[in-house]
Structure 1
């Protein structure tokens, strides 16, 4: 049967029915099919939480960030009372999008006809509307979107019934409590688009099996496969850990950190919070990717990172982090090359999934999550 005739959801169902001990990578159709992307947008990105970044990037009244979630333009901002809120980023007049990128604003002004909204979404004013007898500005307010902050991360969802983030991720919070993720400050933020499927990049993060080869020019020599621990994942996330040595001091717990002990002080967590927030969390610094599909063959990436506030008073910490950022940029170039090659291979008629290594346990759990969400979404949509 030709690949374009295979039901990708059924292919994934058969794939995830296997136990991990005999598991294979996900079928190519799961990455390349428009039909599977449609199922993901409907049953995953419209139903689960999506991370737009860090709360400290939205610290002041008027600070905002925009995103597009499953085709819906959204703005998240800090209002004048200090409340973090999300709302539709579409003007209620002729439906232009309003704000773009990230920044700070005193009010939300439509770039088309200058309808102006307050930071709480209410309409402040609209020019040249006085002759329309039925117009009343009090009738207009940008629709609210669910928005929650968790350990310094900002999430939005289109699903009014989604489980609160703190409940969904309570096991993560307990596991990394000694890192105190609330007290990490974002030092850089970028957005990128790569020519690969979003799941290829997510899976690339979830396994460190590729580090010695893909990253031979940067961190590969420091990555010992025997030190990687890949436990079974949980319904809302998976993770694996790597031990760092003190060659990179800012990856270690700061001497003032009395929350972490023993080997914890040099343990790095690689957290994959479903569907698409990927966090490298060390005791001293963090970096993250938040992914959203742009068609089967492109992924939009929100990329940021920074230091633990434990290091805020250290004179050399910022220079050390600047050096780390240069390294991360080189690592990203390597990851882009690897993941774009994988997508090109997935599009081949010869593409066939091979068996997974024990170091790819998170990939197996990710496939289980995808299947469960699509099945639950389809069930909920039935009359």
Structure 2
């Protein structure tokens, strides 16, 4: 009877400790999921942050125009991609911007390689010279340029090699439209993305030394033969006639490598302006600065949340490990091991008549 009671006590204690371990395991999973979620949020914030290199160029051109106009570095910098073209539809603006991504939309565009070299200098050890180039300019307006930024050089881009429609004020590229066996275009086909970018007159006159404009160089490099359709269904029905990717106004994206972009669309904060006069870009540099401050604040908050979750996770893991060690230690005690094999054992301290401290009975002293 006493052995049965002792066994029940052991089983109860083991079960209790196992339940505690299970609860701690759930807590570990909970904190790990929280950390994973916070990391995804942090990545989203970092992607949404306006590139500081672009921000500095904006400030130099808008707030420090006189200073910038005297800098040789600035004369061959045309701006960044998002400001060099417009489109005639909000949906087209959104999907083209998502297709290119924030890095390309905020990439600086230079006419010559000399201007690219002027943006950044290096010392003899290959480290960036923070006192020259764009880094040095940043200091003149109280900014610090940190992180990577993309730069396109027009004269280094391989231009469109076929015919340009010189009779068209926009100098659109003459591209072979997809044709069904009957000669008509596939249902829903609108045009090639490269020809749906509207260039302002000032940008139309921007030519490389070899006479190529922005459409033949920059935008052809970005879009190539990317086709634009009305709907995803139109893309699907036209797959045999799509060689270099396609997008649709309802959010479909087929990459040139044949991959499809599924899921919810990203609502990028920087998009191509719409030609009817509604700009999707921040109207004032102050707006851009406020956006950067807000995103940096969100980033700091997320980092703090991640730190707290990681601390809690470490605490729970430590407690889990400790209790697991205690359980294993308890189960490997000689008395418990003997009981598991049905051998006689010391009575439980909770059992009447037990002698847990090994003291001799009074009549034997």
For the aligned pair, the TM-score class normalised by the smaller chain equals: under 0.3
**Structure with more of its chain in strand, by fraction:** 1
TM-score (normalizing by structure 2):
0.21
Larger Rg: 2
**Relative contact order (alpha carbons < 8 A, sep ≥ 6): 1 or 2 greater?**
2
TM-score, normalised by the number of residues in structure 1: 0.20
